[in-house]
């Protein structure tokens, strides 16, 4: 038996190939498995980060096929750096995510500031393997690490008048080059997003501080970003510096920029097309064939009840 993997050069081979190769080896005899998995592990080490977070593992009961670390961290939407998805990674070194403080204010008993490191100490972290679907028609599967947004909401003790939650990305021209361009910037800054309070309390909504067991890379929204997996990716706001409890529906950035194309809810819905993109199908990063998009991105059981009284065609 020949061991072809021994001759493979690390740079010639993607993590996905490694994973598939490994699967093949596991089907071979025991001797081959021992010899090869050692080699494959050695090569794979380079491609995945060393974990620096303590968290409870997601058992991946749905058996979702994870996107690779490389895919998740190399193809990004983060307009504060660039509108070029493959440029963000390289440009994002100007972001300084540590230390990082978040202001909690608005309709709460008492506003306060808290450091992300404090939040991580306060709330135990857990992994959440979620599908993630961008309105542009691409998708991926990400092993996020974070905590339920509901935990932070309880900590903030909002007043009964608070009906929505509003998030803001940091505004700092030194850290985010596109914010320097004023009205010539790609979109209005700071980036703003929002959720109805009952949506925000849903256990699927998390604040993520990491992925693949490691603190977030700058390009993915370090040090803390929202993840709402049943909504289009633009709702999952990055590098959050302010969380406000408010009475009225916040005007989110994409609705402000183009209200004909973007609304507040943005629930993943294969039956309502975006004016420029059909939403019936999606391409998973790295895959050749498109797959069908699922209503609420496959999370209808968990979140469908939140929208029982909402016309999803009108409130897209
Ligand atoms: N502050 C900020 N948050 C943002 C964006 C952005 O440009 N700025 N892009 C959004 C869009 S359109 C998507 S699809 C996701 C992409 O997240 P990812 O790069 O981690 O895949 O982030 C969202 N959050
Ligand atoms: Mo997106």
The alpha carbon of 291 and the centre of ligand 1 are apart by a number of angstroms equal to 22
The alpha carbon of 65 and the centre of ligand 1 are apart by a number of angstroms equal to 22
Task: Give the integer Cα–Cα distance in Å for 251 and 248.
Answer: 9
Residues with CB in 5 Å of ion ligand 2:
77, 134, 233-234
The alpha carbon of 221 and the centre of ligand 1 are apart by a number of angstroms equal to 8
Domain spans in the chain, listed from the N-terminal domain onward: 1-48, 54-307
Q: In what order do the strands lie in the sheet with 240-246?
A: 112-115, 101-106, 240-246, 164-169, 192-196
- The burial of 142, by beta-carbon neighbours within 10 Å (0-12 exposed, 13-18 middle, 19 or more buried), is given as buried
What pLDDT sits at residue 315? 77
Q: Cβ < 6 Å from ligand 1: which residues? A: 76-80, 134, 169, 191, 220-221, 233-234, 236-239
Which bound ligand lies closest to the C-alpha atom of 241?
A: 1
What pLDDT sits at residue 185? 97
Which bound ligand lies closest to the C-alpha atom of 188?
A: 1
The alpha carbon of 314 and the centre of ligand 1 are apart by a number of angstroms equal to 24
pLDDT (tens, 9 = 90+) of the chain, 316 residues, equals 333 333 333 334 445 444 454 444 444 444 444 545 555 555 555 589 999 999 999 999 999 999 999 999 999 999 999 999 999 999 999 999 999 999 999 999 999 999 999 999 999 999 999 999 999 999 999 999 999 999 999 999 999 999 999 999 999 999 999 999 999 999 999 999 999 999 999 999 999 999 999 999 999 999 999 999 999 999 999 999 999 999 999 999 999 999 999 999 999 999 999 989 899 999 999 999 999 999 999 999 999 999 999 998 887 8
Atom of ligand 1 nearest to the CA of 221: 20
Which bound ligand lies closest to the C-alpha atom of 168?
A: 1
What pLDDT sits at residue 31? 47
Please give the model's pTM, rounded to 2 decimal places: 0.88
Matching residue, tokens 């850290």? 175
The alpha carbon of 109 and the centre of ligand 2 are apart by a number of angstroms equal to 34
For the domain spanning 54-307, the CATH number is 3.90.420.10
Matching residue, tokens 């959720």? 195
Ligand 1, atom 8, lies closest to the CA of 78
Which bound ligand lies closest to the C-alpha atom of 191?
A: 1
Atom of ligand 1 nearest to the CA of 134: 14
Task: Give the integer Cα–Cα distance in Å for 138 and 302.
Answer: 23
What pLDDT sits at residue 314? 81
Task: Give the integer Cα–Cα distance in Å for 7 and 31.
Answer: 18
The alpha carbon of 241 and the centre of ligand 1 are apart by a number of angstroms equal to 15
């Amino acid at each position: 038996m020949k061991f072809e993997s021994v001759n493979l050069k690390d740079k010639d081979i993607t993590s996905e190939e490694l994973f598939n190769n490994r699967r093949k080896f596991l089907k071979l005899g025991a001797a081959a498995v021992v010899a090869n998995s050692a080699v494959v592990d050695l090569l794979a080490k380079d491609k995945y980060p060393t974990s620096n977070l303590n968290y409870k593992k997601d058992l991946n009961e749905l058996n979702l096929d994870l996107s690779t670390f490389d895919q998740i961290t190399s193809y990004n939407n983060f307009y504060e750096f660039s509108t070029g998805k493959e440029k963000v990674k390289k440009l994002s070194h100007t972001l300084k995510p540590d230390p990082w403080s978040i202001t909690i204010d608005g309709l709460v008993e008492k506003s306060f500031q808290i450091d992300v490191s404090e939040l991580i100490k306060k709330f135990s972290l857990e992994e959440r393997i979620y599908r993630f679907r961008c309105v542009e028609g691409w998708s991926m599967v990400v092993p996020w690490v974070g905590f339920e947004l509901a935990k932070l909401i309880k900590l903030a003790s909002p007043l009964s008048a608070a009906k929505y939650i509003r998030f803001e990305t940091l505004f700092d021209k030194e850290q985010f080059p596109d914010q320097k361009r004023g009205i010539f910037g790609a979109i209005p800054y700071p980036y703003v997003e929002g959720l109805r309070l009952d949506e925000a309390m849903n256990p699927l909504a998390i604040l993520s501080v990491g992925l693949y067991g490691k603190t977030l890379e700058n390009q993915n929204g370090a040090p803390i970003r929202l993840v709402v997996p049943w909504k289009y990716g633009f709702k999952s706001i990055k590098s959050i510096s302010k969380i406000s409890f408010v009475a009225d529906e916040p005007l989110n950035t994409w609705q402000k920029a183009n209200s004909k194309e973007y609304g507040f809810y943005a629930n993943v819905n294969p039956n309502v097309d975006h004016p420029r993109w059909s939403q019936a199908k999606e391409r998973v990063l790295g895959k050749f064939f498109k797959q069908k998009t699922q209503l609420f991105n496959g999370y209808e059981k968990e979140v469908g009840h939140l929208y029982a009284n909402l016309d999803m065609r009108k409130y897209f």
